[in-house]
Amino acid sequence: MGKISRRALLLGGTAGAAAPILHQLIPHRGVHEAIEGANAAAPGGPAHGAAGAVQGGGNAGPTFRQGAPVDHAANRFHPTEMLRDFDWGKTRRLASGRVLREWTLIAGDQEIEVAPGVKYPAWTYNGRVPGPTLRCREGELLRVRFVNGSEHPHTIHFHGLHPAEMDGVPGLGDGLIQMGGETTYEFSAEPFGLHLYHCHAGPLAEHIARGLYGAFIVDPKRGRPDADELLMVMNGFNTNFDAEGNQVYAVNTVAFHYANEPIAVERDTPVRIYLVNALEFDPINSFHIHGNFFHHFPTGTSLEPTEFTDTIMQGQAQRAILELRFPFDGDYMFHAHKTEFAELGWMGFFRVGNGGATANHGSGGA
């Protein structure tokens, strides 16, 4: 991308001039032949929800098909591993007795495959989308070193309580961090709950949509009850850069990933989902589970649930902790209760016990 100025790239979303260049960079058509070939070679079995090739939004979205493989090795992150990958950083005890917890986050530019055959020029923290799931305990002192290895200025803006100069927005503190620059954000871990971080450079929608976001979990001092804990960041990709919607939708970036590889959980065991809505351009996202109900803890800032339900919705940057148990073996679908999102990648399955061993939700997975 060396020959394209940052301005030209950023204008590409709204102005006509750079659009033809972007269209050469972004595959947006014609991948379906390869996908169908991969699909035809797949083993048999019922493929729930594999209704055929889907096309994004009717606005020049890519064509892709559930069940075809994505090259996780090339992406250098794997959505199944991401579920339980909590980054606790490095700690040491200060003279005061307080714990200091530290991380380094590096911004970079990286092409990632977000659906079979659909490559997207992402901007990443530590080479992944979403960025690392930063986890700490209430009251600790947190220090986040941010290095900008990308071709564009960025920041990290944390949700939570902190002084203005640590807010990671242009014009406050170190403000925008230029290419090759770095800064350190320092603040206390409060309040407990499920928060997020994201870049706050302008234009904001693009800097978030490109992939610069991640979950930030502050555990309460007395902790939460034991559970199988899972991180789910709901996201999407505006592959034609029209800034009007997304053509690919997912949890943890890869469309249909948890249909192709259902999430294995134990029967009668507490499961805790940390759910974050990082979707840009579409104002509302939602989460719905089949054959079950969950306790809903909005923002995770109270230890008492507000609701026992099977569907919640979230606006941009809203998040919640969901707690549930699965009383029966089998495969249980979860998806956005916005049919369009589900059909464009935002759906998956939990696999409880071995009850679903004969099912094949993505015809490319076996």
Query: Taking a C-beta distance cutoff of 8 angstroms, is the pair 278, 198 a contact?
Result: yes
Q: Please report how close the Cβ of residue 182 comes to Cu ion at its closest, in angstroms.
A: 14
Task: Pick the closer one to Cu ion by CB: 60 or 317.
Answer: 317
Side-chain half-sphere exposure of 46, counting CA atoms within 13 A:
7
Q: Please report how close the Cβ of residue 41 comes to Cu ion at its closest, in angstroms.
A: 40
Secondary structure letter of residue 80 according to DSSP:
H
Q: Please report how close the Cβ of residue 157 comes to Cu ion at its closest, in angstroms.
A: 6
Cβ-in-10-Å burial (0-12, 13-18, 19+) of 148 comes to: buried
Q: Is 101 in the site for Cu ion (CB under 5 A)?
A: no
Task: Pick the closer one to Cu ion by CB: 8 or 359.
Answer: 8
Q: Is 162 in the site for Cu ion (CB under 5 A)?
A: no
Q: Please report how close the Cβ of residue 340 comes to Cu ion at its closest, in angstroms.
A: 25
Compute the distance between CA of residue 197 and CA of residue 278 in angstroms, rounded to an integer: 10
Task: Pick the closer one to Cu ion by CB: 125 or 332.
Answer: 125
Q: Is 361 in the site for Cu ion (CB under 5 A)?
A: no
Q: What values do phi and psi take at 72, rounded to 5? A: -65, -35
Residues sharing a CB contact under 8 Å with residue 310, sequence separation 6 or more, in sequence order = 288, 289, 290, 292, 293, 294
Q: Is 205 in the site for Cu ion (CB under 5 A)?
A: no
Tokens for 39? Answer: 């699909």
Q: Interaction with Cu ion in 108-147: which residues (CB under 5 A)?
A: none
Task: Pick the closer one to Cu ion by CB: 197 or 297.
Answer: 197
Q: Is 275 in the site for Cu ion (CB under 5 A)?
A: no
Q: Which of 26, 201, 255, 263 binds Cu ion (CB under 5 A)?
A: 201
Q: Is 207 in the site for Cu ion (CB under 5 A)?
A: yes
For residue 294, what are the β-bridge partners?
309
Residue type for position 45:
G
Largest CA distance in the chain: 64
Token look-up 């606005």 returns 59
Q: Which of 101, 137, 154, 361 binds Cu ion (CB under 5 A)?
A: 154
Q: Please report how close the Cβ of residue 177 comes to Cu ion at its closest, in angstroms.
A: 9
Tokens for 267? Answer: 């029967």
Task: Pick the closer one to Cu ion by CB: 6 or 29.
Answer: 6
Q: Which of 199, 248, 265, 271 binds Cu ion (CB under 5 A)?
A: 199
Q: Is 317 in the site for Cu ion (CB under 5 A)?
A: yes
Q: Please report how close the Cβ of residue 51 comes to Cu ion at its closest, in angstroms.
A: 35
Q: Please report how close the Cβ of residue 321 comes to Cu ion at its closest, in angstroms.
A: 18
Compute the distance between CA of residue 112 and CA of residue 115 in angstroms, rounded to an integer: 9
Site string for Cu ion, 210-229 (x = CB under 5 A): --x-----------------
Compute the distance between CA of residue 282 and CA of residue 288 in angstroms, rounded to an integer: 17
The stretch among 114-122, 205-213, 327-335, 346-354 that binds Cu ion (CB under 5 A) is 205-213
Among 110, 131, 129, smallest CA distance to 121 is for: 110
Buried b or exposed e, range 235-260, using 16+ CB within 10 angstroms: bbbbbbbbeebbbbbbbbbbbbbbbb
Binding site for Cu ion (CB under 5 A): 154, 199, 201, 207, 212, 317
